[in-house]
């Protein structure tokens, strides 16, 4: 097991639409963005760009 945690951590971005739930997996820098991340990304379920929010 690692002795200390790295600066970059893995996160999951989720979009909830009427068609269902779609998730992206990515990383973020913990020091630069300590708050929850919100990105506008393409959702293949609704076939348009939606707001994806970070979940734990």
Residue 2 belongs to some domain of the structure? no
In percent, how much of the chain has pLDDT > 90? 82
Residue 48 belongs to some domain of the structure? yes
Backbone angles phi, psi at 30, to 5 degrees: -65, -35
First to last CA, the chain: 21
Residue 33 belongs to some domain of the structure? yes
Q: What is the mean pLDDT of the chain?
A: 91
The number of domains in the chain is: 1
C-alpha span between 1 and 26 (Å, rounded): 22
CATH number of the domain where residue 19 is located: 2.20.28.120
Residue 42 belongs to some domain of the structure? yes
Q: What is the pLDDT of residues 3-18, one digit of tens each?
A: 677 899 999 999 999 8
Residue 3 belongs to some domain of the structure? no
Region 45-54 average pLDDT: 95
Buried b (16+ CB within 10 A) or exposed e, 23-32: eeeeebeeee
Structural domain boundaries enclosing 46: 8-55
Query: Edge-to-edge strands of the sheet including 20-29?
Result: 20-29, 8-17, 48-55, 38-43
pLDDT at 43: 95
């Amino acid at each position: 097991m690692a002795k200390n945690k790295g600066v970059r951590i893995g996160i999951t971005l989720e979009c909830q639409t009427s068609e269902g739930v779609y998730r992206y997996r990515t990383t973020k820098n913990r020091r630069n963005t300590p708050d929850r991340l919100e990105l506008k990304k393409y959702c293949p379920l609704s076939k348009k760009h939606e707001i994806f929010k970070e979940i734990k």
